[in-house]
Amino acid sequence: MSISRRTLTRAGVLAIGALTLAACKDSTSPLNITPDQLQAMGESVATELEGGVAQLTASDITATNGGAPSFSRVPRSTATLFRGLSLNRTPGAVSRSTSAGDIAQCGVASPSTPVDSDGDGIPDNWSLTFNLPACHFSDAASGNNYDITGAFHITDLAPGTLGFDLGFGLDNFKLSFNGADGSGYVSRDGDGSVHASASGLSQTENWREVAVFTGLTSASVDINWTATFAAAQGQSLTAGHGLPDGTYTPGGSVSFRQGNRVASFEVTTITPLQYSASCAAGVAQGTSISPFSAGHIKVAVTSQQGSGFADVTYSSCNAATVTLVSQ
């Protein structure tokens, strides 16, 4: 199976971003989410949504190793976490160019040549396992060392029948790092599935991310999504091909925990996200930032110290705009 060299930009961002909610604070005290932190989490959720729509087809899933945590989300210094900013925009993040292809080169495929009984682009049952010492990397620019362990798998839920139904997941996937600025790891575990119907595609994803960094109490994030995709009028879904223009309607929750501190973020679609095949192609080529040309999502937070919400809006293939509406 060919793994494309699309740059990884998603998984791990929620767990790492969540640490900004509690950095420099007592992990036993109530969690008071500031406007800056709510905006940071809004941006992190936006990144998660952009990755979610790229997990509706087998080719996109394998291109990103199922959304595995990437080098691009590990900060050069844990001081980065104290700024209360989303790592999407943090200059201190690792600057090396690391793609899904770079990571996949150290993985062991089973079977070595995937079996695709129905020719729909979804392997009947295929996995990629990451072990040491093969999956040890060093970055001379930052002085950091990285170890990758765990496995990615993808399965055709209807082998022998041309279609879109698939399942995929990460099993104990962990990206560990150490260097002069500190050490830690980001892990992601869970699974997702896609099913087709007369009205389009339905998606379910359930993940747990954990972020552990030197000097901070570890944090975990549970991500539970459901979403639907409907092709635009005059467009059609074709097995084995990329998504056409259409609407993506996600919803779900992100639950954060650090010690006794908890917060729940509910994600609701106000206006369906307009997925653009042209924008998506631009993301792959580096000429666009997001695959969405329009859409409006609400991210509402409930914590021990109150509630509030932020609007996430998209336009013209650009990065999401996060606006605080209430706190």
> Residue 102 — φ and ψ, nearest 5°?
-60, -45
For residue 8, is it within any domain?
A: no
Q: Exposed (0-12), middle (13-18) or buried (19+): which is 119, by Cβ within 10 Å?
A: exposed
What is the Cα 237 distance to its own chain's centre?
23
The size of the chain, in residues, is: 327
CB of 255 closer than 8 Å to CB of 264:
yes
For residue 85, is it within any domain?
A: yes
pTM above 0.85, yes or no: no
Look up residue 278 and give its amino acid: S
Q: What DSSP assignment string belongs to 45-85?
A: HHHHHHHHGGGSSHHHHHHTGGG---GGGSBSSGGGGGG--
For residue 7, is it within any domain?
A: no
DSSP strand E in 180-304: where? Answer: 182-197, 200-213, 219-231, 246-258, 261-275, 292-303
- The pLDDT score that the predictor gives to residue 252 is 93
For residue 95, is it within any domain?
A: yes
For residue 278, is it within any domain?
A: yes
CB of 231 closer than 8 Å to CB of 264:
no
Pairing mode, if any, of strands 200-213 and 219-231? Answer: antiparallel
For residue 4, is it within any domain?
A: no
Q: What is the dihedral of CA 42, 11, 212, 214, to 10 degrees?
A: -80
- The pLDDT score that the predictor gives to residue 97 is 38
pLDDT tens for the 327 residues of the chain, in order:
222 222 223 445 555 555 555 554 555 555 556 676 677 777 788 888 888 898 999 888 888 788 787 665 554 444 343 333 233 333 233 333 344 445 667 889 999 999 999 999 999 999 999 999 999 988 777 778 889 999 999 999 999 899 999 999 999 999 888 887 788 888 999 999 999 988 899 999 999 988 888 877 788 889 999 999 999 999 999 888 889 999 999 999 988 887 777 888 899 999 999 999 999 999 888 888 899 999 999 988 876 566 678 889 999 998 888 887 765
For residue 2, is it within any domain?
A: no
- The pLDDT score that the predictor gives to residue 33 is 64
What is the span of the domain harbouring residue 176? Answer: 13-326
What is the gyration radius of the CA atoms in the chain, in angstroms? 19
Residue that the structure tokens 């209360």 belong to: 84
> Residue 48 — φ and ψ, nearest 5°?
-65, -40
Q: How many domains does the chain have?
A: 1
For residue 194, is it within any domain?
A: yes
Cross-strand pairs, 183: 178
- The pLDDT score that the predictor gives to residue 182 is 80
